[in-house]
Amino acid sequence: MKLRYLTIALLALMLMPAISRAQNSTEKQLATIRETYAGAMKMLEMRLDPEYPAHDMTVINTDEMWPGSGQHNGKLELFYGLDIQEESDYLQRFPAFARYTYNIGEQKYYYEILWHDPDDGNPDHCQPIFFYFKFTDYHGKTFECRYYFWDGKLLKTICKEADEEIPSPEMALNRAKIIENIVKMNEIWNNF
């Protein structure tokens, strides 16, 4: 019996450094995400200054009358970086930050997506690292959720309350991919 406890204790001691490294790695990744988000907010502030020469953004507005829910308005703001594609001399865009506001009837939706660019010149290496969702229901009650990702894996979730309108982490990554594909439609953006 003592041998069993001793074995378990030794095994626990041997695993502690690996667990500690994993926790340190996660904390470093979360710190990088927070730092990248703060940089994105500074970038938005700078780019939205009327005297800034180019905003490197695309805005898509919708104004529709939906059957059953009435007036629907949406605004998708895409902020991106630009680089030259060496093989074709086309401009290539890679996502940096997106925010989307829309309504369905009296319900209001807002979300933000932040990407990490390893700055290697390949827009396919950009990864979504943060997804923020905010929903206001018919009664004015607000629900918020934050997802932190690294290499396509969920690192952390912060949701104060559950609601069926809050997207799952998989759905959040799917939305990020859809927006990323809009940003990277180089054939369309370069030929107009």
Question: Concatenated DSSP letters for 20-39?
Answer: HHHHHHHHHHHHHHHHHHHH
**Residue 147: C-alpha distances to residues 7, 49, 114 (Å):** 38, 29, 11
In whole angstroms, give the CA distance from residue 71 to residue 13: 61
DSSP one-letter code for 168: P
And the tokens for 128?
């979504």
In whole angstroms, give the CA distance from residue 184 to residue 95: 8
Largest CA distance in the chain: 77
69, 75 Cβ separation under 8 angstroms: no
**pLDDT score, position 133:** 95
**pLDDT score, position 88:** 62
Q: Show Cβ contacts of residue 184 under 8 Å, excluding neighbours closer than 6 positions.
A: 92, 93, 94, 95, 123
**Residue 142: C-alpha distances to residues 5, 114, 128, 145 (Å):** 50, 22, 24, 10
**pLDDT score, position 31:** 95
pLDDT in tens, 109-133: 999 999 998 776 677 788 999 999 9
In whole angstroms, give the CA distance from residue 142 to residue 136: 4
DSSP one-letter code for 141: -
3-state helix, strand, coil in the chain (%, to 5): 35, 40, 25
DSSP one-letter code for 148: E
Instruction: State which residues of the chain have pLDDT below 70.
Output: 1-23, 85-90, 120-121, 186-192
| pTM (predicted TM-score) | 0.80
**pLDDT score, position 43:** 85
